Amino acid sequence: MTKRDVGFIGLGKMGGHMAARFLAAGHALTVFDTNTEAVARLVAAGAVAAHDARAVADRAEVVFASLPMPAIVRGAALSLCDGAAIKVFVDTSTTGPVVAAEVAAALGPRGIAAIECPVSGGMAGARDGTLTLMVSGPRMAVDATMDLLTVLGRPVFVGETPGAAQTVKLANNLLVAAAMTITAEALVMGVKAGVDPKVMCDVISASSGRNTATSDKFPRAVLTGTFDFGFSTGLLYKDVRLCLDTAEALGVPTVVGAAVRQALAVTQALHGADSDFTSVVRPLEAWAGVAVRSP
């Protein structure tokens, strides 16, 4: 394995795990985050701390980012333009195709290849290196970065068009949100009728209604009452809004998606943006006067 100089900006729930994997794989790592505790954890494991995003780009040829909002990604990417070492910027955030295209247009003339690499698989996937990576960007740059991408999981090349990978990720997250929301309605109805929700999940997961909410998210984070799947209501709400904005720009109606967005808006209003997105069941529980729990 060739040791490479890697940078990582954004060491939150996902980014911290992904950055740690590069250290474990033997690469030199420079990191930046406004959360000093997150930086300290990586430094203790062997990383070098940078005082800002630009300083990361002065040390690392390939800089990864995992940031919460499109505007933050845009700002971070623009700050990298004059970095002394950076050749490739890999954005694992979910920003939508508009910001992805803006970043590519800003970095390209400075000789920096922009690779979109939104991920799916949650914190466990980030920790274990089993993420699905939706990748788009200049094919030569993607191929040259493949050894680093495979440290994080399974890369799937979507295409070279700016925004392609982001579009796929938004579609995926709309499906995640829709499955979670409709499963919440179905299970609250069942519990109100006196059915054990675990039995319902088991039956549905072995039947044609099976989805990742019935097979994984509800058993892990709702039936247990922990609501700790690891992704916030605010971030999923942001992703669904980005998806619907993209669809509207393309002239594609999203009738079901609009209802999902409203369900997330209600959840965020009642339980906060930092609540786990599995909390989408909680307003329904309150209105129905039941709890979807199983010992």
Report the catalytic residues. 169
Rounded to whole angstroms, how far apart are CA atoms 216 and 235? 19
Question: Which residues have CB under 8 Å from 291's CB, separation 6+?
Answer: 191, 225, 285
Phi/psi for 69 (5° steps) reads -130, 150
Asked if residues 180 and 170 have their Cβ atoms less than 8 Å apart, the reply is no
Structure tokens at 244: 């619907």
Question: Which residues have CB under 8 Å from 60's CB, separation 6+?
Answer: 5, 6, 7, 28, 30, 85, 86
Task: Mark 200-224 as b/e (b = at least 16 C-beta within 10 Å).
Answer: bbeebbeeeeebebbbebbbebbbe
Question: Which residues have CB under 8 Å from 34's CB, separation 6+?
Answer: none
Asked if residues 50 and 32 have their Cβ atoms less than 8 Å apart, the reply is yes
DSSP class of 154? E
Single-letter code of the amino acid located at 116: E
Rounded to whole angstroms, how far apart are CA atoms 203 and 209? 9
| CB atoms near residue 287 (< 10 Å) | 9
Phi/psi for 232 (5° steps) reads -85, 155
Structure tokens at 125: 């996937």
